[in-house]
């Protein structure tokens, strides 16, 4: 999953980026309102952590413009403004959640997991796809109840496929959502990790849709 963090405090921004990367997310970071608006308009983020007090363009204005332009990615407002009227204004502008400073990183991570899960139409933090079980809280994967050891990159790819269950995802789309903006989009990394996941989870775990990309489906929904 790829996140955009918009925070003008350099210390907090660095702490957030480090914690989110350690949790397995690809993170783009900016402390400027104009750049944040541009990135949200042009890059495919799975969620955004957005501070309100920003230089050049404030967070509330950015959010309103994103929503007016049809951008539907989940947005978690992160701000020192904790009055109920500010929260109402944020939700009315299109925010999906609101977290006041100071906060614990564990709560931020839990809220982001919930936002991303709901945006994919998933109610439970544990995704069951046939014999494969993915616990998004602990990043634990099992196959028929037996733990499967995955690298961080393998887990990120599997989790993104699972959050988009039934959808055909191209290599380009997978790359754009799994890596930050500096990654080489021409790399064949996706194919390598797909192969590794199939060896660990079974060849049928991930389907190839010829000429289009890859997808995961529940066994009962698979084409015969």
pLDDT digits (tens, 9 = 90+) for 179-191: 876 666 556 788 9
Find out whether 214 and 166 touch, Cβ atoms under 8 Å: no
- Whether residues 108 and 163 share a domain: the answer is no
Q: Indicate the number of domains in the chain.
A: 2
202 and 183 co-located in one domain: yes
Residue 163's nearest CA partner among 5, 47, 20 is 47
As a whole number, the mean pLDDT across the chain is: 90
Q: What are phi and psi of 40, to 5 degrees?
A: -65, -30
Domain shared by 182 and 95, yes or no: no
pLDDT range class, residue 223, cuts 50, 70, 90: low
Shared-domain flag, residues 105 and 209: no
The CATH number given to whatever domain includes residue 112 is 3.40.50.2300
Measure Cα distances from 209 to 77, 95, 153, 166, 217 in Å: 37, 35, 22, 11, 12
Distance of CA 176 to the CA centre of its chain: 11
CATH code for the domain of 138: 1.10.10.10
Residues 6 or more apart whose Cβ sits within 8 Å of residue 6: 30, 31, 33, 36, 48, 49, 50, 51, 54, 59, 62
Q: Which residue would you say has higher pLDDT here, 200 or 152?
A: 200
Give pLDDT, residue 224: 45
Q: Which of 60, 94, 119 is the last residue of a domain?
A: 119
CA pseudo-torsion sign 142, 147, 148, 153: positive
C-alpha 144/C-alpha 43 separation (Å) is: 37
For residue 24, what pLDDT is reported? 87
Q: What is the pLDDT of residue 151?
A: 92
pLDDT of residue 185: 56
pLDDT for 46 equals 93
Domain of residue 88: give its range. 2-119
| pLDDT tens per residue across span 148-174 | 999 988 999 999 999 999 999 999 899
Residues 114 and 11 in one domain: yes
Mean pLDDT of 103-130: 90
pLDDT of residue 40: 95
Q: By three-state DSSP, how is residue 86 classified? A: helix
- Report, as an integer, the average pLDDT of 180-207: 84
158 shares a domain with 60:
no
Compute the distance between CA of residue 217 and CA of residue 165 in angstroms, rounded to an integer. Answer: 6
Assess whether pLDDT exceeds 70 at residue 132.
Answer: yes
């Amino acid at each position: 999953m790829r996140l955009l963090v918009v925070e003008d405090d350099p210390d907090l921004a660095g702490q957030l980026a480090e914690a989110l990367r350690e949790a397995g997310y690809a993170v783009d970071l900016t402390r400027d309102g104009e750049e944040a608006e541009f990135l949200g308009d042009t890059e495919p983020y799975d969620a955004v952590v957005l501070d309100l007090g920003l230089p050049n363009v404030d967070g509330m204005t950015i959010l309103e413009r994103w929503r007016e332009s049809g951008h539907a990615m989940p947005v978690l407002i992160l701000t020192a403004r904790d009055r109920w009227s500010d929260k109402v204004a944020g939700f009315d502008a299109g925010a999906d959640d609101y977290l006041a400073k100071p906060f614990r990183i564990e709560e931020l991570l839990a809220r982001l997991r919930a936002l991303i899960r709901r945006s994919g139409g998933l109610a439970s933090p544990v995704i069951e796809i046939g014999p494969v079980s993915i616990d998004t809280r602990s990043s634990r994967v099992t196959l028929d109840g037996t733990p499967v050891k995955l690298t961080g990159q393998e887990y990120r790819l599997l989790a993104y496929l699972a959050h988009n269950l039934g959808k055909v995802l191209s290599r380009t789309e997978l790359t754009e959502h799994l890596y930050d903006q500096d990654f080489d989009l021409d790399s064949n990394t996706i194919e390598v990790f797909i192969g590794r996941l199939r060896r660990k989870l079974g060849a049928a775990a991930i389907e190839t849709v010829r000429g289009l990309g890859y997808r995961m489906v529940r066994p009962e929904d698979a084409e015969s």
